[in-house]
A = this chain, B = another copy of it.
């Protein structure tokens, strides 16, 4: 393998597009949300706390985005509570198995993640997927 490989980088403009689409979906659903769009290192690029969303969901949505950026798969898929507990402990609480975090995948490359929180798990997923759908070429089926 070469020393470096081509990659794609999610811009703030791209992140903001994902964010705006997710906000629009949450508005249409009548479910206020905290929405984080992060880069492939899990670091926040864009954020919205909609009117009525929970303050503590700032934390959980952020952790969903970080977990999805790291694992490259949607959050919520750890099937076993014992394994989940070990993973949470081994990362000193940086990982969450709450639903609502998704990697942003374009051309097979993980370029970032979205994390949504303040609704039910299913509502969070719906809003996150609406965000992904706004980014040309982003994977929306997992």
Residues of A in contact with B (beta carbons under 8 Å apart): 1-14, 16-17, 23, 39-52, 54-60, 63-64, 66-67, 69-72, 81-82, 86-98, 106, 111, 117, 135-136
Which residues of B sit under 8 angstroms from A106, Cβ to Cβ? Answer: 4
* 11 CB-based A-B contacts, threshold 8 Å: A3-B17, A4-B8, A5-B11, A39-B41, A44-B47, A44-B58, A52-B72, A56-B94, A60-B91, A81-B82, A87-B98
Measured between beta carbons, the chain B residues less than 8 angstroms from A49 are 12, 43-46
Within the assembled complex, what's the spacing in Å between the Cα atoms of A1 and B81? 43
B50 x A47 contact (CB < 8 A): no
Find A89's partner among B47, B88, B90, B135 (CB 8 Å cutoff). B88
CA distance A40 to B56 in the complex (A): 12
- With contact pairs A56-B67, A94-B56, A96-B89 given, residues A14 and B2 touching in the complex (Cβ less than 8 Å): yes
A4/B12 in contact, CB under 8 A: no
Tell me the complex Cα distance, A52–B25, Å.
Answer: 29
Q: With A and B bound together, what is the CA distance between A90 and B121 in angstroms?
A: 13
Bound Cα distance A4, B17 (Å): 11
